[in-house]
Amino acid sequence: MSDGSQRQVNRRQFLSLGLALAGGVVAMKPRPGRAENVKDRKDMVRWAWLSDTHIAADPGNRFRGFYPHRNFRAVLSQISSNLPDGVVVTGDISRSKGGVDAYGNVRSMLAPIAAQRPIYLGVGNHDSRHDFVTAFENSDDSGEAVKDKHIVTAMAGPVRLIILDSLLYTNVFGGMIGREQRTWLETYLHVCDDTPTIVFLHHTPRADLLDTRRLFDILTPCPKVKAVVYGHSHKYEVLESDGIKLINLPAVGYNFTSAQPVGWVEARLTRAGAEFVLHAVGGNPKKDGRTTMVRWRA
């Protein structure tokens, strides 16, 4: 890979701004004086993983008997009570089609945690990339690793995080990584070191991600890739495909069936594996507190 291409990959890494724009993914960063990353390579880190917050401009918005705004506040209260090393939200930030006011609500709600920990927000099919960027933009950085598919990579102690953009069309169910982003990913995985790597996106592989096979043609032969994390289905489960762990996050906003919880996942990550703890704030509470332990593939 040329030096110029390497610089293009590296420039999408964490920026030193209060709110760092990465296009389809926004990084909300801690204030100066606090650690921006988990850089000390400690043996274990704790991250909060969320999906499908579905926040509307109106905080009183109700859907399927749930109040997403209240659910989100309950989740953030739990997270704030024992701050993790960072937070990732895998998309469908807004209720339906985006809206600057909806994203403004999200930004305000996240601000107390963002003052102390990094937060990374992806987009889903119910997000508007334009409105999302407008609401969060606070950066002079105009470089893009992939046109209209914006990417963030981050070191989180013993693991690497790669957050991809699977938004295809707003308010259309299916998603896609796309050829150019897949090419970027394949190149990046080739040049980066062998740190255990976790890939995030919004859409459910083998269900609603239109180029699942092409994506996994890249991920499966790459042993450093240990897990893929996603939302979209409003369902919590931990599966496996050719040794890669598949972590389907529960929704924060509402569930689709009464069997599913509403909440978030606490991820305790090491080089060897992980523990996933479900925190249910609504929906089916039966699995609240359940811990699932996995070992990464060799």
- pLDDT, tens only, 59-90: 999 999 999 999 999 999 999 999 999 999 99
The pLDDT of 258-273, averaged and rounded, is 98
Mean residue pLDDT of the chain comes to 85
The pLDDT of 243-262, averaged and rounded, is 97
Q: What is the reported pLDDT for 11? A: 34
Give the Cα separation of 89 and 31 in Å (integer): 20
Q: What is the reported pLDDT for 143? A: 44
Where is mean pLDDT largest: 34-48, 158-172, 206-220?
A: 206-220
pTM above 0.75, yes or no: yes
With cut-offs at 50, 70 and 90, classify the pLDDT of residue 41. Answer: low
Q: Name the domain count of the chain.
A: 1
With cut-offs at 50, 70 and 90, classify the pLDDT of residue 137. Answer: low
Between residues 264 and 97, which one has the greater pLDDT? 264
Domain enclosing residue 15, as ranges: 3-295
Read off the CATH number of the domain in which 214 is found: 3.60.21.10
Is the pLDDT confidence value at 233 over 70?
yes
